């Protein structure tokens, strides 16, 4: 793959995939395409994945400029982004998300699709803020939140667009553990080396067994979410 937005590095069976658009790591069509290519390449390399962002930002979610313009490009962006949640959940080898800072909306859903999530300590916020900006929480998004969060945090995240600081995010289930920013990638790579030693065939079959219902619901919910987006004109404002 060759993209200025996503860096792919393979070392000792671990593929490190770094998102960096120089700004807020908006999940634009180009960023999502590069991520998909990176994940496909990692699978060909039979690699454990470490997925991370740039300093202080994991991802701010979908590219709102594309969303506001609407049309086929915006719809394709939603389809690819929501589809990546199932792609990551069903990836045949372990996936570690190293949350390097703020994570919002689709950035959160992508992060929560991983097998293990390490958060970075700092003044960062984690939020699925769809309701705050006038969007009904998409089915796929709600499923990824429910996949990881404890019940009370899930309710707050979905219905109240709650913002979680990193300690609250750890308690809620967004993160499995926290580490210092300077140690984040090293910690993620150590986890990757540990998980690589598992029986990876058993890992694959076990994760797909326990996630079968969630994956089926994501695949059924995705076209319904796209229909909702078309009806709302992508942007989320209901007709008056």
Which residues lie below 8 Å from residue 45, measured CB to CB, with a gap of 6+? 10, 13, 15
For 28-72, the pLDDT digits (tens) are: 999 999 999 999 999 999 999 999 999 999 999 999 999 888 899
| CATH of the domain spanning 6-182, picked from 1.10.287.130, 3.90.226.10, 3.30.1300.10, 3.20.20.150 | 3.90.226.10
Mean pLDDT of 122-139: 95
Crossing angle between the packed helical segments 151-160 and 139-148, to the nearest 10 degrees: 150
The pLDDT of residue 178: 98
Beta strands in 60-109 (DSSP E): 61-62, 95-99, 101-104
Distances (CA, A) of 30 to 21, 43, 58, 91, 172: 10, 20, 16, 21, 31
Structural domain spans, the chain: 6-182
Mean pLDDT of 17-22: 97
Question: pTM of this prediction?
Answer: 0.94
Query: 49 pairs with which residues across the strands?
Result: 15, 95
127, 162 in Cβ contact below 8 A?
yes
Would you give the end-to-end CA distance of the chain in angstroms?
Answer: 45
How far is the C-alpha of 177 from the C-alpha of 3, rounded, in Å?
30
Query: 68 pairs with which residues across the strands?
Result: none
User: Kind of pairing, strands 6-11 and 95-99?
Assistant: unpaired
Q: Given the structure tokens 């990546």, which residue do they identify?
A: 84
The pLDDT-based confidence of 240 (bands split at 50, 70, 90) is very low
**pLDDT surpasses 80 at 19:** yes
């Amino acid at each position: 793959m060759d993209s200025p937005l996503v860096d792919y590095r393979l070392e000792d069976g671990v593929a490190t995939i770094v998102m960096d658009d120089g700004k807020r790591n908006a999940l634009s069509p180009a960023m999502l395409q590069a991520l998909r290519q990176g994940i496909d390449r990692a699978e060909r390399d039979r690699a454990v994945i470490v997925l991370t962002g740039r300093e202080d930002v994991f991802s701010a979610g979908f590219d709102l400029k594309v969303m506001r313009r609407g049309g086929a490009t915006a719809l394709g962006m939603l389809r690819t982004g929501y589809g990546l949640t199932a792609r990551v959940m069903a990836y045949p080898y372990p996936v570690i998300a190293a949350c390097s800072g703020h994570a919002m909306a689709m950035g959160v859903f992508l992060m929560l699709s991983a097998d293990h999530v390490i958060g970075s300590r700092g003044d960062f916020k984690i939020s699925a803020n769809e309701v705050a900006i006038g969007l009904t929480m998409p089915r796929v998004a709600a499923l990824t939140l429910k996949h990881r969060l404890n019940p009370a945090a899930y309710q707050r995240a979905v219905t109240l667009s709650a913002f979680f600081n990193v300690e609250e995010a750890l308690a809620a289930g967004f993160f499995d553990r926290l580490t210092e920013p300077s140690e984040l990638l090293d910690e993620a790579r150590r986890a990757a080396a540990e998980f690589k030693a598992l029986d990876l065939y058993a890992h694959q079959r076990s994760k797909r067994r326990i996630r079968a219902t969630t994956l089926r619901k994501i695949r059924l919910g995705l076209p319904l979410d796209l229909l909702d987006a078309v009806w709302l004109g992508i942007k989320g404002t209901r007709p008056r």
